[in-house]
C-alpha cells in the first residue's frame, strides 16, 4: 500500500463525504478507493469512517487522523514547491467559504485576476449564510462576519464593516422618513436571523459605549443576506446592513440611507483557518491575496 496515496484518498473521501464523488474527482474506480481505506484502517488499527448507504462520516479517531493527514500532505506539498517561485507551478485544490453578499458583491469580480495569475489552483468557493464546520467539512479558510466564538481555530482580523440603515424610496413614500428613534415605533423592520424562531431584537444603535435596541414593527424575518436586501428593495421594511454591500443599490437609488446618526456597531470581519504548522503554499498565497483585496471592502 502506498500510504501517502491512501492518505490522499482518505482526505478526499472525507471532504466529499462520498466514495463515489471522491472516485469521480480522482479518476479512480470506487472499489479501489474502498480497498485503500480499508487497508489504511487495518494498518492504523482503528475505524476511520462510518459508512452508511447515504453518507460517509468521520469517526472520532478519523477526525484526529484527518487533521494529521492534512498536516503531513501540506508539509509534503510545501517541500515540493520549496524552490519554485513561478506562480504557474502552484497547483491543487483550495476550499474556501464566505458570506453570499461578500462573494457576489466584491470577491467574484476580483477573482479572474487571481485565477489567471495562479492557473493551477482549483478553487472551491462555498457561499452561504450558515456557519460551516471548518474542520469536518475540510475548508482551508473561511471568512466570518461578526463576533467569533471560541473554536480553537486561528483568526486573522481583516477589518470592520460599517453598518447603515436603509429603506426603499417606495417604503419611505408610503410611511414617511424616520428622523428620530421615537419615529421607529411607527415603522417596520425586516428582521434577520441565522436561526429562525428567535425573537427579533429590534432596531440596533451604538451610543459610543454599548449597543441599544429600539422596538419596532415588522412581521417578516429572513435568514439569507440576499433575501434581506431584496426584501428591503421590495418595500417591506427597514434593514441594517453593511454599507459596502449596499453601495450599488444606493447609487441606483433603489435604496436610501436613513438615520445616519443612529448606526449599529461595526461588525468585525475575520479570516479563519485551522491551526497547522505548515499551510500549503496555495493556501498561504490565497489568504494573502484575500487580505489585500478586503482592504477596500472593510474599514
pTM (predicted TM-score): 0.71
Report the pLDDT value the prediction gives residue 255, as an integer from 0 to 100.
Answer: 97
Residue 143: φ, ψ to 5°: -100, 125
What is the percentage of the chain residues whose pLDDT exceeds 70?
Answer: 94
Q: Which domains does the chain possess?
A: 1-80 (1.10.10.10), 163-265 (3.40.190.10)
Report the pLDDT value the prediction gives residue 18, as an integer from 0 to 100.
Answer: 87
Asked if residue 89 lies in contact with residue 119, where contact means CB atoms within 8 angstroms, the answer is: no
Calpha distance 192→228 (Å, rounded) = 7
Mean pLDDT of 98-125: 91
Mean pLDDT of 274-295: 84
Choice between 191 and 129, residue whose per-residue pLDDT is larger = 191
Please determine, for residue 229, whether its predicted confidence score (pLDDT) is greater than 90.
yes
Residue-averaged pLDDT of the chain: 88
Report the pLDDT value the prediction gives residue 133, as an integer from 0 to 100.
Answer: 83
Residue 128: φ, ψ to 5°: -155, 165
Residues 72-89 pLDDT 10s: 887 787 676 666 666 667
Please determine, for residue 142, whether its predicted confidence score (pLDDT) is greater than 80.
yes
Report the pLDDT value the prediction gives residue 154, as an integer from 0 to 100.
Answer: 87
Please determine, for residue 155, whether its predicted confidence score (pLDDT) is greater than 80.
yes
Residue 24: count of CB within 10 angstroms of its CB = 12
Report the pLDDT value the prediction gives residue 83, as an integer from 0 to 100.
Answer: 61
Mean pLDDT of 143-167: 89
Residues 7-37 pLDDT 10s: 989 988 888 888 988 888 888 898 899 999 9
Report the pLDDT value the prediction gives residue 52, as an integer from 0 to 100.
Answer: 79
Report the pLDDT value the prediction gives residue 216, as an integer from 0 to 100.
Answer: 92
DSSP string, the chain: --HHHHHHHHHHHHHHT-HHHHHHHHT--HHHHHHHHHHHHHHHTS--EEE-SS-EEE-HHHHHHHHHHHHHHHHHHHHHTTT---GGG--EEEEEEE-HHHIIIIIHHHHHHHHHHSTTEEEEEEE-SS---TTTTT-SEEEEESPPPP-S-EEEEEEEEPEEEEE-HHHHHHH----SSGGGGG-EEEEE-SSTTSPP--EEEE-SSSEEEE--EEEEEES-HHHHHHHHHTTS-BEEEEHHHHHHHHHTTSSEEE-TTSPPPPEEEEEEE---SS--HHHHHHHHHHHHHGGGT--
Give the HSE-up count for residue 80: Cα atoms under 13 Å, Cβ half-sphere: 13
Report the pLDDT value the prediction gives residue 17, as an integer from 0 to 100.
Answer: 84
Amino acid at each position: 500500500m502506498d500510504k501517502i496515496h491512501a492518505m490522499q484518498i482518505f482526505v478526499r473521501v472525507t471532504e466529499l463525504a462520498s466514495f463515489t464523488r471522491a472516485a469521480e474527482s480522482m479518476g479512480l474506480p470506487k472499489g479501489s478507493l474502498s480497498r485503500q481505506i480499508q487497508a489504511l484502517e487495518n494498518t492504523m488499527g482503528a475505524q476511520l469512517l462510518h459508512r452508511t448507504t447515504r453518507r460517509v462520516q468521520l469517526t472520532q479517531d478519523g477526525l484526529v487522523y484527518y487533521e494529521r493527514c492534512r498536516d503531513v500532505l501540506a508539509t509534503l506539498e510545501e517541500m515540493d514547491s520549496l524552490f519554485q517561485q513561478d506562480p504557474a507551478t502552484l497547483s491543487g485544490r483550495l476550499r474556501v467559504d464566505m458570506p453570499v453578499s461578500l462573494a457576489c458583491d466584491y470577491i467574484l469580480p476580483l477573482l479572474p485576476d487571481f485565477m489567471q495569475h495562479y492557473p493551477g489552483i482549483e478553487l472551491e468557493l462555498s457561499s452561504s449564510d450558515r456557519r460551516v464546520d471548518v474542520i469536518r467539512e475540510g475548508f482551508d479558510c473561511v471568512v466570518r462576519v461578526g463576533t467569533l466564538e471560541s473554536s480553537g481555530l486561528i483568526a486573522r482580523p481583516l477589518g470592520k464593516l460599517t453598518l447603515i440603515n436603509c429603506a426603499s424610496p417606495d417604503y419611505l413614500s408610503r410611511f414617511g422618513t424616520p428622523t428620530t428613534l421615537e419615529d421607529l415605533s411607527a415603522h417596520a423592520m425586516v428582521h434577520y436571523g441565522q436561526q429562525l424562531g428567535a425573537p427579533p431584537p429590534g432596531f440596533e444603535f451604538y451610543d459610543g459605549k454599548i449597543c441599544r435596541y429600539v422596538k419596532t414593527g415588522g412581521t417578516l424575518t429572513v435568514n439569507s443576506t440576499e433575501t434581506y436586501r431584496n426584501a428591503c428593495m421590495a418595500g417591506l421594511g427597514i434593514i441594517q446592513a453593511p454599507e459596502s454591500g449596499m453601495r450599488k443599490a444606493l447609487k441606483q437609488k433603489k435604496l436610501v440611507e436613513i438615520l445616519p446618526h443612529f448606526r449599529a456597531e461595526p461588525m468585525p470581519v475575520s479570516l479563519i483557518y485551522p491551526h497547522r504548522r505548515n499551510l500549503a503554499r496555495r493556501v498561504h498565497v490565497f489568504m494573502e491575496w484575500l487580505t489585500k483585496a478586503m482592504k477596500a471592502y472593510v474599514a
